[in-house]
């Protein structure tokens, strides 16, 4: 089986992810032949050669004044996985392009995964500067490289450019959080229908095992049903059936089957066999993605809904909150609170507004309380806010999912005068909107492309909310 980890060397969640992957393979699948192919993700592509002091980085980027707050969760997850991770040992983060270049070059040596783990351990456990080419050469010498060869790769501009190109591909492939594992293609040696079924079984079990490694949170007393639902929660099926749709259809079929002969009048093997047949029927799986290993199950999701004025953000957010049980964090709640003291657009207003937004998101992530955040991009928001959101939420163990709303100009202007907009002091002047529209559009273009893009003139709020929930695999409470 081919396993594709997308990781960043200096990410503490990734060393835990590597450890859990190796542990699951060794303990549960010792006879499974795997081909592990590493892919780079660059969390700080512009880090200076001398590195960045992590406490300063946490304070300036994410508003975290006590590094222990950010260190606690990954250190705890490491302990739960059976090893000690003391993040206070390594207080510097370094550029990782050179290290990724050496890892990519090891693809043909059958040592790539072990080398990636060794470099990651050198950074976190031995507190080494993995941007230093001599350090990389020393490590690579144990994994099939000559020291001079490894140094040459780490210094080669073409190899560094290759890393950046691969990282760009990772982002375009939808990698939003790390570590990200893709359980994908069969090895060339496998073939035939029986072996294909066996591969699917291995993929199913491995994905479940990785999810179990990340969390234990049983959803029901029925072991077969629990297994299927937990699998559906933890793994994104990259195929015909979105996980939640599949789960609902499967649930209905299981309930119908339960109306037959009483289960206690039949052998347990027959009951389990019938249930498993239903699960298999509703689970065509050409590929599996275990995304954000430590944040896929039982942890916080931030659904970041952004779009222009009067695109229906709050209306859709409320509907999505009703469906999922997620809290709605409307950006105007903070805007109005800060504007009551400091005029809109002043330095104090801009600074406090962002601090309050980020503080709420970070605390929610730490408490594993999922949120829906509404946001209208505009010029007074400091550039890079979206990246700071992702970093702050990720540092606290959560994941961010961007949803982009669009609306035609004519519909936007028609909605502008809705009485509901007066409740939060929202823009209601068509003339002012037309004057500011170029600035708003420029701010919107600077935002990341959403995992889903919705034209709200074509979908009603309920339909848009359900589309978001099903696309992102959110739990539906109604």
What single string gives the DSSP state of each residue in 58-117? HHHHH--S-HHHHHHHHHHHHHHHTS---GGG--EE---HHHHHHHHHGGGGT-HHHHHH
pLDDT at 184: 60
- 424: confidence class by pLDDT, cuts 50, 70, 90: low
- 206: confidence class by pLDDT, cuts 50, 70, 90: low
pLDDT at 297: 34
Give the rounded percent of residues in the chain with a pLDDT score beyond 70.
71
Determine how β-strand 371-375 pairs with β-strand 327-330.
parallel
d(CA 183, CA 200): 10
Q: Are 297 and 398 in contact (CB under 8 A)?
A: no
- Domain ranges across the chain: 301-472
Taking residues 387-404, what's their average pLDDT?
Answer: 83
What is the number of alpha carbons within 13 Å of residue 147 lying toward its C-beta? 5
Q: Can you say whether the dihedral through the CA atoms of 247, 252, 257, 262 is positive or negative?
A: positive
Q: Can you say whether the dihedral through the CA atoms of 251, 246, 210, 390 is positive or negative?
A: negative
Decide if pLDDT at 296 tops 50: no
pLDDT at 322: 92
Helix (H, G, I), strand (E, B) or coil at 288: strand
**pLDDT tens per residue across span 23-37:** 888 887 788 888 899
Q: Are 301 and 396 in contact (CB under 8 A)?
A: no
Q: Are 379 and 443 in contact (CB under 8 A)?
A: yes
The residue to which tokens 């040696």 are assigned: 189
Dihedral (C-alpha) 134, 139, 141, 145: value to the nearest 10 degrees?
Answer: -90
Residue among 300, 291, 303, 302 at smallest CA distance from 405: 303
In terms of pLDDT, which residue wins out, 462 or 258? 462
Rg (CA), the chain: 24
pLDDT at 131: 95
In terms of pLDDT, which residue wins out, 290 or 183? 183
Decide if pLDDT at 61 tops 80: no
Decide if pLDDT at 422 tops 70: no
Q: 179: which 2 tokens?
A: 């570590």
According to CATH, the superfamily of the domain at 301-472 is P-loop containing nucleotide triphosphate hydrolases (3.40.50.300)
Helix (H, G, I), strand (E, B) or coil at 7: strand
Helix (H, G, I), strand (E, B) or coil at 389: helix
Least confident window among 78-87, 124-133, 222-231, 280-289: 222-231
- 448: confidence class by pLDDT, cuts 50, 70, 90: confident
pLDDT at 70: 83
- How open is the CA angle 193-225-182, to the nearest 5 degrees? 50
Q: What is the average pLDDT score of the chain? A: 77
Determine how β-strand 288-290 pairs with β-strand 236-237.
antiparallel
Helix (H, G, I), strand (E, B) or coil at 36: strand
Tell me the range of 238-242, 298-302, 360-364 where mean pLDDT is highest.
360-364
Termini Cα distance of the chain: 38
């Amino acid at each position: 089986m081919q396993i594709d980890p997308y990781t960043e060397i200096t990410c503490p969640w990734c060393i835990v992810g590597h450890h859990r992957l190796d542990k699951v393979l060794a303990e549960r699948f010792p006879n499974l032949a795997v081909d592990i192919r590493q892919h780079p993700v660059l969390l700080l592509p512009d880090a200076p050669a001398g590195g960045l002091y992590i406490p300063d980085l946490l304070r300036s980027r994410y508003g975290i004044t006590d590094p222990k707050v950010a260190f606690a969760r990954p250190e705890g997850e490491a302990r739960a996985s059976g090893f000690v991770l003391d993040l206070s040992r390594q207080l510097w983060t370094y550029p990782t392009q050179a290290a990724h270049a050496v890892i990519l070059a090891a693809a043909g040596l059958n040592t790539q995964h072990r080398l990636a783990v060794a470099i990651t351990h050198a950074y976190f456990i031995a507190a080494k500067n993995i941007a230093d080419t001599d350090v990389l050469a020393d490590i690579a010498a144990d994994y099939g490289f000559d020291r001079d060869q490894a140094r040459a790769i780490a210094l080669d501009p073409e190899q560094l450019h290759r890393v950046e190109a691969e990282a760009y591909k990772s982002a375009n492939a939808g990698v939003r959080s790390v570590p990200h594992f893709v359980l994908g293609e069969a090895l060339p040696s496998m073939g035939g229908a029986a072996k294909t079924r066996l591969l699917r079984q291995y993929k199913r079990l491995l994905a479940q095992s990785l999810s179990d490694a990340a969390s234990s949170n049983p959803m029901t007393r029925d072991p077969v049903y629990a297994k299927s639902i937990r699998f559906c929660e933890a793994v994104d099926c990259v195929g015909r059936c979105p996980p939640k749709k599949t789960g609902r259809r499967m649930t209905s079929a299981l309930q119908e089957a339960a109306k037959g002969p009483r289960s206690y009048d039949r052998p347990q093997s027959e009951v389990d066999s019938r249930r498993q047949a239903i699960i298999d029927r509703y689970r065509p799986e050409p590929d599996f993605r275990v995304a954000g290993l430590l944040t896929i199950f039982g942890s916080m999701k931030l659904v970041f809904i952004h779009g222009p004025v009067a695109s229906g953000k709050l209306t859709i957010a409320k509907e999505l909150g009703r469906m999922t049980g997620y809290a709605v964090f409307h950006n105007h709640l903070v805007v109005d609170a800060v504007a009551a003291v400091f005029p809109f657009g002043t330095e104090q207003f801009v600074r406090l507004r962002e601090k309050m937004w980020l503080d709420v998101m970070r605390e929610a992530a730490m408490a594993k309380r999922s949120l829906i955040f509404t946001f209208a991009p505009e010029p007074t928001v400091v550039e890079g806010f979206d990246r700071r959101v992702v970093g702050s939420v990720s540092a606290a163990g959560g994941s961010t999912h961007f949803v982009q709303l669009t609306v035609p100009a004519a519909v936007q202007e028609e909605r502008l005068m809705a009485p509901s907009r007066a409740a939060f002091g929202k823009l209601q002047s068509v003339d002012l909107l037309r004057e500011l529209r170029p600035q708003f559009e420029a701010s919107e273009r600077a935002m990341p492309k959403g995992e889903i893009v919705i034209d709200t003139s074509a979908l009603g709020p309920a339909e848009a909310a359900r589309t978001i929930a099903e696309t992102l695999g959110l739990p539906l409470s109604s």
